[in-house]
Amino acid sequence: MRSSKPASVQIRRRDRALPWLAPALLMLAVFYAVPVLDVFRLAFSDATLVRAPTAYSLETFSDVLTNAVLPEILLTTLIFTGLSVVVLQLVGLMIALLLVRGERRGLHGMAAFRTLVLAAWVVPGIANGLIWQMLFDEAPYGTLNSLLGFVGVGPVAWLSDPVMAMVSAIIANVWQGTAFSMVVFYAARRAINPTLYEVASVDGANAWEAFWAITVPQLRLAIAANTILVSVQTLNTFDSILALTGGGPGRATEVLALFTFNTVFYNLDLAGGSVLALILFALGLAFATLIFGWLRREAA
């Protein structure tokens, strides 16, 4: 729709708005844009943690992108992120629907249940890793293995087997991140018009049919938005893995964010770490663009 205001009035209004927006723009520039630009600058340099850049070239990009370990790291990241995002969405959705249904039926303890799930969200990543490290301890007196032993299962090599170590890292990540998905889906589910369910009920639809015909289609924008947010969060996860497995055994749980951290703090390679940070940034951006594109097509 075209504006009915003359162009000169619009320009005057924009000029008047700029001074009011300037502080916010300045803050954004200082705290977000400058560090990101500095990562770009360092990626083209030969900087180490103990030496300022002495030259600028594409050599660091070439070294990092031809590193034989990178494909393995990217595959680990893909598995960790992909499985985490799927499970986070499913568990978050299940808890959100459980809460909504429980509240609708006036069940006691729903607020306590919601608080309990949210409590895991505020636990710092390092603490999360340490908590699960104690639970997954494979010693004969380890918590989970002892419990499994009572029912005649196990022991399970939670952290010493490469495949199980990945499963353990995903469990720890899901335990902490579920609350976020739950909040997103809970809010979206509450916003669905109850009349739709009433009509479906009159038409004889059971709960399963109502879920697929009403809930899922109505939640698809929330699912898309949550996928972006949870994916970016998971891509950047390294602290809980650092505390839980350190990336091991071997490189079995060394995701890109942790590899970036190790490149900087073990190799002291600030330039290499910056290139890896840019790869991480590009992956997150590409994924977000993909989902946003889909959202815009849906909106249209």
Partner 1 sequence: MTKLSFATAFFFSVSAVSLGAPAVAQDLVTRTMVGLPDAPNTLTFRLTAFDLYSSDDATREGFEALFTDFIRARPDWKIETQLQTANIGQEQARILQQTLAGRGPDCAMIDSSQLALFKENGVLQPMNAVFSEEEVADLFPYVREAVTNEAGEVLAWWWFTDLRVLYRDTSVVPDAPQTWDELKAAALAAAGEGREGILFNGGRWEGTAFDWLANFWAQGGRLVDDDGEPIFADGENREKFLTAVAYVQDLVESGAAPQRVSSIVNYDAFNAAAAAGTAAMFIGGNWQYGQLRTTLPPEAFANWAVSELPGPTADDRATGTGGWTIAALTDDPDKAALCGEIAKEIYAGPGNALQGLLPTSASLYEQYDAYDGPEFELFAEALQNGVSRPGAAIYPEISNQIQILLGEVLSGSADPETALDAAADAVRAAFERL
Interface ranges with partner 1 (CB under 8 A): 46, 48-50, 63, 67-69, 126, 137-141, 157-162, 165, 242, 245-252, 261-262, 264-269, 271-272
Nearer to partner 1, 86 or 171 (CB): 171
Identify the CA nearest to 233 among candidates 115, 112, 128, 102. Answer: 128
Considering the complex, state which of residue 163 and residue 299 has its C-beta at the smaller distance from partner 1.
163
Residue (264 or 278) nearer to partner 1, CB? 264
Residue with smaller CB distance to partner 1, 66 or 206: 66
Q: How far is CA 166 from CA 112, 177, 247, in A?
A: 31, 16, 9
Phi, psi of 232 (to 5 degrees): -65, -40
Nearest distance from C-beta of residue 120 to partner 1, angstroms: 22
Report in angstroms how near the CB of residue 116 gets to partner 1 at its nearest: 27
Tell me the closest approach of the beta carbon of residue 148 to partner 1, in angstroms.
Answer: 15
CB of 107 to partner 1, least distance (A): 41
The CB-of-268 to partner 1 minimum distance in angstroms stands at 6
What span, in angstroms and rounded, lies between the C-alpha atoms of 132 and 8?
62
Within 13 A of 175's CA, how many CA atoms are on the CB side? 17
Q: If you ran DSSP here, which 8-state letter would residue 249 be given?
A: S
> What minimum distance in Å lies between the beta carbon of 82 and partner 1?
21
Nearer to partner 1, 36 or 126 (CB): 126
Q: Tell me the residue type at 86.
A: V
Looking at the Cβ atoms of 128 and 226, the one nearer to partner 1 is 128
Q: Which is nearer to partner 1, 43 or 165 (CB)?
A: 165
* CA nearest neighbour of 273 among 18, 42, 13, 9: 42
Least Å from the CB of residue 143 to partner 1: 12
DSSP symbols for 15-79: HHHHHHHHHHHHHHIIIIIHHHHHHHHHHTB--BTTB----B-SHHHHHHHT-TTHHHHHHHHHH
Distance CA 88, CA 133 (A): 20
